Amino acid sequence: MSKKQNSVALLMAEAEYIATGACCAQILYMKQTLLDYEVVLDKVPLLCDNKSAVKLANNPVQHTRIKHIDIHHHFLRDHVAKGDISLENVGTKKSIGGYLHKTSR
């Protein structure tokens, strides 16, 4: 196992964490829009295919490896803690990419 492999895995987790945070913002916007039509949603499930990103969002402890991530990227973590979003891991075979790969054979 090389140091480069650890760095790539950490960068991928950070990228997924930030992208999932952007998705969370869109979900909260849609949730607020649905309130105008009197549709109330409690905990909206958000699926992510990166286990490390899910663990970062679900664990409120600040890790030393992620202390360089800007505070505004922890938007996702805050809304998971509030209960607005339910962040869950989805396996590769169940994700859209896995589905497309399976059907293209």
User: Which pLDDT belongs to residue 64?
Assistant: 58
Domain ranges of the chain: 3-103
At 101, the pLDDT band (50, 70, 90 cuts) reads very low
pLDDT in tens, 73-93: 678 888 888 988 898 888 766
What average pLDDT score do residues 41-69 get? 77
Highest mean pLDDT among 13-22, 31-40, 92-101: 31-40
User: Which pLDDT belongs to residue 104?
Assistant: 45
User: Which pLDDT belongs to residue 29?
Assistant: 94
Q: Do 69 and 20 form a contact (C-beta atoms < 8 A)?
A: no
User: Which pLDDT belongs to residue 100?
Assistant: 43
Q: Do 46 and 24 form a contact (C-beta atoms < 8 A)?
A: yes
Distance, CA of 99 to chain centre: 20
- CA dist 5 and 52 (Å) reads 14
